[in-house]
Homo-oligomer: A and B are copies of this chain.
Amino acid sequence: MRTMAVIGTGLIGTSVALAVSRRGVTVYLSDRDPAAARTAAALGAGFVRTPAEPVDLAVLAVPPSQVGAVLAEAQGRRLADSYTDVASVKAEPERAALSHAPDPDRYVGGHPLAGRERSGPLAARADLFTGRNWVLTPSPLTSDETFDQALELVALCGAVPVVMGSKDHDAAVAVTSHVPHLMASLMAARLREGPADLPRLAGQGLRDATRIAGGDSRLWGDILQANAPAIAGVLRDLHRDLSRLVPALDALAAPGGRERDLGMRTLVDLLDRGISGLAEIPDTRSGASPEDLCVRVAVPDRPGELARLLAAVADFGIAADDARVEEARPDGDAHGAGFAVRFTVPPRTADRLVAVLGAGGWDVVRDATVAVTRPGRSPA
């Protein structure tokens, strides 16, 4: 890929342009707001110029409802050999491409799963897509060449391609994005009602739960409209869930008895299903690696000893809540009363941790159990 056009230099379009410009691609920028395109160019995202000959790939970074028209217009003037978009719904743009575009085989739908609360070119970042999933939804007509160009774009942006059908994509984002947005809006709207001091009770939980309700309401209206059938289905499910949950809460508010027990069971069952649903969300933070080793430290049962230990391990980047109290030794042992604390750390850290804590007078062991399950492992 040598040349690319980006139509629409908002957050996503400018970030794409920045990412591929850094990889040596020449990018031609345009936007219906000329100032936005010039801002993107001044950031180093490319040039505000019409290419003299067709570019390899055009990226349409416009709202979902405009993808079809912009695609038809761009293909009409032979802007590029291949075309993709970055809209967060995919069935409607695909339908528009198949029914109106001059060369539907030259288009593949795309949706990078990245964003920020802020919009516009100044919020753009070249690394916005690094490590993120980027869905591609080839239609039955999409040519191999166009699909390959889109895959190269994803690779240039450092993202991970996920190939899905456009309808499956839209059913999934209804659950993962659109309905959560609407529910956040419904909850945030309630903050204007109720007691005067209500907003002072807002904590981080509410802030997190409602943050996605922000953003441009017309752009979001456009996105939600383009996926209205899938969203309506999920909202119907939630409506039905609430029809069950309200009587359960009513029962819990009542004096007691069997109905109250049933209400509590309904409630805890819902909470448990929510917790197991959370486990489906891939965690972007790195968890414990299978290479990790355990280090166990005995802590004397005196005030401040655990705090002293945690201060000592803080140098290794280990936080207090990375520690696990392994066993209580209420009756004491050779070392007197106390308990053991376990840290799970990478092998290299384990060796240094054992050495430093040992030198500091702590009773510390590398966990034998873990070592035994990894025969032949030599300390790093």
Q: A residues engaging B (CB < 8 A)?
A: 34-35, 38-39, 41-47, 113-116, 118, 122-125, 132-133, 135, 162, 164, 168-169, 171-173, 175-177, 179-195, 197-215, 217-218, 220-221, 224-225, 228-229, 231-232, 234-239, 241-243, 245-246, 249-250, 252-253, 263-264, 267-268, 270-278, 280-282, 284, 299-307, 310, 320-321, 323-325, 328, 330, 338-339
Contact = CB atoms under 8 A, between A and B. Distances in A.
Indicate how many identical chains form the complex.
2
Contacts of A195: 164, 168, 171-172
A343 B114 CA distance: 26
B201 A278 contact: no
A44 B175 contact: no
Contacts of A302: 42
A267 B301 contact: no
5 contacts: A42-B339, A122-B323, A182-B270, A190-B237, A239-B242
A177 B206 contact: yes
B200 A177 contact: no
A220 B274 CA distance: 12
Contacts of A193: 175
A35 B242 contact: no
Contact of A42 (B42, B43, B211, B301): B301
Contacts of A303: 41-42, 44-47
A278 B239 contact: no
A164 B194 CA distance: 13
A185 B253 contact: no
Nearest to A184: B209
A246 B234 CA distance: 9
Contacts of A172: 194-195, 197-198, 201
Given A38-B339, A42-B303, 11 more contacts: A35-B339, A42-B304, A43-B310, A124-B320, A175-B194, A180-B187, A183-B209, A188-B280, A209-B212, A225-B263, A228-B249
Given A176-B202, A270-B189, A209 B207 contact: no
- Most B CB within 10 A of own CB, among A42, A44, A124, A339: A42
A168 B198 CA distance: 8
Given A201-B169, A206-B177, A246-B232, A278 B214 contact: yes
Contacts of A224: 249, 252, 267
Contacts of A192: 273, 276-277, 280
Given A195-B171, A249-B232, A280-B199, A183 B177 contact: no
